[in-house]
Amino acid sequence: MTQTSQASLHAFLDDMREILGESWVNIASETIDRYGETTLPGPDIPPGAVLYPGSVEDTQRIVEAANRHRVALYPISNGNNIGLGSRAPVNTGQVVVDLGRRMNRILDINEQTGVAVIEPGVTYRQLADELERLGGRFIPDVTSGPPEGSVLGNALDKGAGYTPYADHLGMTCGLEIVLGSGTVIRTGDASLANATHPHMSKYTYGPHLDGLFAQSNFGVVTRAGIWLMPRPPAIRFFGFSFEDDDAIGPIIDAIRPIKLSNFVPTMMRVSNDLWMAISEEPYPGYREGAGALPDEARKALRQRHGVGAWTVSGAFYGASMSALQPQIDRIRSHMERLPGARYIDHDAVEGHPPLQAALDAYSGKPGFSELRQLAWRPGGGLAAFTPGVPMQREIVETSSRMSRQVLNERGLDYVKMFVCGPRFARGLHHLIWNRAVPTEDSAADDAYRTLVTRYAQMGMQSGRAPLRYQELHWSILEPGVRETCNALKSVLDPNHVIAPGRYGIG
């Protein structure tokens, strides 16, 4: 789709005022500015208008009108995708459809089967609070992001957490979608008109369509079933710290077998010193052009906050804290074979915010701790680079050294957490800089692009992508994949009205 003309936009918004009501169509300059804000390099990306649907029927009528007027839409859930684009559209002038403002209901919680049915605006805090109100039999799997982030939005962007239910897309079942054509479909058992259990079985008759609507722009998801984790009677944290930057290789070698066997049920977090500490204080003596924090200052920072160059954490679930002691003994025996390993007991978490953030993640409690990393430097620059790295020592060591070098050479700090599963780790990089300083902004842009290129040369792709770099990530995929996605776009959204350009598609 070419850029929407002003005449088409005005005619479309006239229709929207009639369909939604005047109060749910917003073109105020302060609203446009707010929705265009990002934490990414470069200028903000203002939308043409903001709409607030209240139902799937409203959403369908918005899409139908967009097709009539050839207006590009950009659906969001809550717009709290910090470090990836926030509320902003992928291209200036697209009309943001903010589903989270009014479509924020928990429609059902089945405590027999552990299924919640939710709309896009339901937040991690909202879901956790409601589960607690019902007696706390279940917990959500949460992210490192804001408690006001969308549960459904994160799942559709292939976000993940830390408990055995960490695969958020995998824990959805039965989607309701308004296609770009305006047709409403429901997937899985929900595709049966009189379905009595639409959110219990993912793999029912016919093709599995759900994955088409993750990281795509083929339609607008308006509700979903989410599988919930039963709350364990006891959750026991364990951790290990290491003072050597080069300990990461042996750490990965040690974690891989215990995750392959699923001895540790949680994902295992391997956080570097800055990931753990910068949420607790700003860059010491920051000034423009300060560059990456020197090694001596890094050592002083981790001494102040009681963290290592690398801190490993995980948790066990069981009947009681004492019943979990054998697992603690086994993990200690395994990890303490590594040189320099220092055990961190569950009781050490109290009064230690970085460790508490990890325990909260394993316990299904949303928190703000890691968002405070934004205050490390003034100016509010944050971009998340999230490559998937095989759980192989040589690859992890090489990529870790390369990431540190790329960032440090551009005056940025190496802020990193590996979230380790059995075969690969999510390598979460947080690029943090002062957006108000042009040289830092351009350095951050160059660093991100260089990281994408270097990891691709090593055969690794990112799991998610900030708006500014989606076209870059798209460009390095095989042509057949791109051709297939564009063909699907033309079938499911023939006029390309749903977020053209999102994730590089259409």
- Each of the 506 residues of the chain gets a pLDDT tens digit; together they read 656 788 999 999 999 999 999 999 999 999 999 999 999 999 999 999 999 999 999 999 999 999 999 999 999 999 999 999 999 999 999 999 999 999 999 999 999 999 999 999 999 999 999 999 999 999 999 998 899 999 999 999 999 999 999 999 999 999 999 999 999 999 988 898 888 888 998 888 899 999 999 999 999 999 999 999 999 999 999 999 999 999 999 999 999 999 999 999 999 999 999 999 999 999 999 999 899 999 999 999 999 999 999 999 999 999 999 999 999 999 999 999 999 999 999 999 998 999 999 999 999 999 887 889 999 999 999 999 999 999 999 999 999 999 999 999 999 999 999 999 999 999 999 999 999 999 999 999 999 999 999 999 999 999 999 999 999 999 999 999 999 999 999 999 999 999 999 999 98
- Residue linked to tokens 């790295």: 389
Retrieve residue 70's tokens: 């050839």
Distance of CA 387 to the CA centre of its chain: 13
Tell me if 484 is assigned to some domain: no
Q: Would you list the DSSP string of 399-468?
A: HHHHHHHHHHHTT----EEEEE-SSEEEEEEEEEE-TTSHHHHHHHHHHHHHHHHHHHHTT--BS---GG
pLDDT at position 230 is: 98
Alpha carbon of 215 to those of 142, 212, 463: distances in Å? 19, 8, 10
Domain boundary residue among 199, 230, 261?
230
**Same domain, residue pair 315 and 373:** yes
Q: Are strands 424-433 and 416-420 parallel, antiparallel or unpaired?
A: antiparallel
Question: What was the pLDDT predicted at 1?
Answer: 60
Q: Is residue 288 part of a domain?
A: yes
- Would you say residue 482 lies in a domain? no
> Tell me, what's the pLDDT at 2?
56
- Other Cβ atoms within 10 Å of 282 Cβ, number: 12
The rounded distance, in Å, linking the Cα atoms of 338 and 334 is 8
**Rounded to two decimals, what is the model's pTM?**
0.95
Nearest to 495 by CA among 222, 220, 221, 218: 218
- d(CA 460, CA 349) in angstroms, rounded, equals 34
Q: The tokens 């055995």 sit on which residue? A: 164
- Domain of 44: which CATH number? 3.30.43.10
Q: Domain residues for 451? A: 234-466
Q: What is the DSSP letter of 41?
A: S
- Residue 50: exposure state from Cβ atoms within 10 A (0-12, 13-18, ≥19): buried
Helix (H) or strand (E) holding 230, with range, is strand 229-230
CB 391 within 8 A of CB 422: yes
DSSP β-bridge partners for residue 315:
237
Q: CA–CA separation, 92 vs 9, rounded Å?
A: 13
483 within a domain of the structure (yes/no): no
User: At CA 356, angle to CA 353 and CA 361, rounded to 5?
Assistant: 130
Which residue carries 């928190």 as its tokens?
Answer: 367
CATH of the domain at 175: 3.30.465.10
What's phi and psi for 82, nearest 5 deg?
A: -65, 135
Q: Does residue 435 share a domain with residue 367?
A: yes
Residues 23 and 135 occupy one common structural domain = no
Residues 221 and 242 placed together within one structural domain of the fold: no
Helix axes 248-260, 325-335, angle to 10 degrees: 140
For 460, which DSSP code? Answer: -
Cα separation, 413 vs 403, in Å, equals: 10
Return the CATH number at 252.
3.40.462.10
In this structure, is residue 322 part of a structural domain? yes
Domain assignment present for 442: yes
* Strand partners for 310: 242, 272
Q: Residue 499: inside a domain, yes or no?
A: yes
- Give yes or no: residues 134 and 268 share one domain: no
| E-state strands within 336-456 | 342-344, 381-385, 388-390, 416-420, 424-433
**Looking at the structure, do residues 370 and 449 belong to the same domain, yes or no?**
yes
| CA–CA dist 126, 138 (Å, integer) | 14
496 and 451 in a common domain: no
- Listed in order, strand segments (DSSP E) in 17-94 are 25-26, 49-51, 73-76
Residues 421, 454 within the same domain? yes
For residue 503, give every residue at least 6 positions away whose Cβ sits within 8 Å of its Cβ, in sequence order, or none: 215, 216, 217, 465, 470, 473, 474
Q: Are residues 46 and 64 in the same domain?
A: yes
- Together in a domain, 366 and 288: yes
Q: How many residues does the chain have?
A: 506
Structural contact between residues 169 and 214, judged by C-beta atoms closer than 8 angstroms: yes
Q: What is the pLDDT of residue 364?
A: 96
Cβ distance 437 to 283 under 8 Å? no
Q: Would you say residue 192 lies in a domain? A: yes
Are 201 and 342 in the same domain?
no
Per the structure, the count of domains in the chain is: 3
199 and 131 co-located in one domain: yes
